[in-house]
Amino acid sequence: QSALTQPPSASGSPGQSVTISCTGTSSDVGGYSYVSWYQHHPGKAPKLMIYEVTKRPSGVPDRFSGSKSGNTASLTVSGLQAEDEADYYCCSYAGNNYWVFGGGTKLTVL
Amino acid sequence: QLQESGPGLVKPSETLSLTCIVSGGSITSVNYYWVWIRQPPGKGLEWIGNIYSSGRTYYNPSLKSRVTISVDTSKNQFSLSMNSVTAADTAVYYCARLSAMPRVFDIWGQGTMVTVSS
């Protein structure tokens, strides 16, 4: 199984929207609704932001949203804020109790 | 909460051993698996494997031949053992909890850096 493909970087100005893609295959992203997104500030524990493609855990701002089309999932951050600057990782179930992560996207708030 | 512990430096060809202490809940709670994930410097996250409190394990095929995850319910902790390590195993190692419903890694440790070097 290969890692999911994410762009290495993304950026936007405060208040703008940014979308991060996560491309897999029909064996992972395209085959299951168990895609999640994690926000990671270096030195800290990763934080769950989106699960089951579109759902937000309690406490996560509604500025964060998720979607999926075919083998590609996306995370959109609307109304960018300075504290959104972090690394973001997608993750998908790949069957047979196997999980695969993306390579990560560094989001910069300009 | 989850907290990793173990040596920060391991020699090539030796065995890496880490422990994750689970606090604030029981490791035998139903519907949860216990997980090891790692992140090599400058790279993305890599799932290593899961264990259920019964001892049932699931491993990343690319690491399966070198990895053992075990659980000690009496100490409310689980462990990772990886043998024949090389510099490529240098990484921050995270322990995490995998919820079965929904299927997410909902709690993570802070991570511990392990360097493989002589």
Q: Which residues contact residue B9 at a Cβ distance below 8 angstroms, ignoring those fewer than 6 apart?
A: B114, B115, B116, B117
State the nearest Cα–Cα gap between A70 and chain B, in angstroms: 20
What is the nearest CA distance from A46 to chain B, expressed in angstroms?
Answer: 6
- Write the residue in B44, B50, B109 that is nearest to A3 by C-beta: B44
What is the structure's pLDDT at A91?
A: 97
DSSP structural state of residue B49: E
Looking at CA atoms only, how far is residue B12 from chain A in angstroms?
25
Angle at Cα B33 formed by Cα B1 and Cα B104, nearest 5°? 80
Model confidence pLDDT, tens digit, residues B12-54:
999 999 999 999 988 888 889 999 999 999 899 999 999 998 8
Mutate: best of A99, A100, A101, A106, partner B, most B CBs <10 A: A99
Asked if residues B18 and B5 have their Cβ atoms less than 8 Å apart, the reply is: yes
Predicted confidence at residue A1, as pLDDT, reads 60
CB pairs under 8 A between A and B: 64
Interval A7-59: pLDDT, tens:
999 999 999 999 999 999 999 999 999 999 999 998 889 999 999 999 999 99
What percent of chain A is modeled with pLDDT above 90? 92
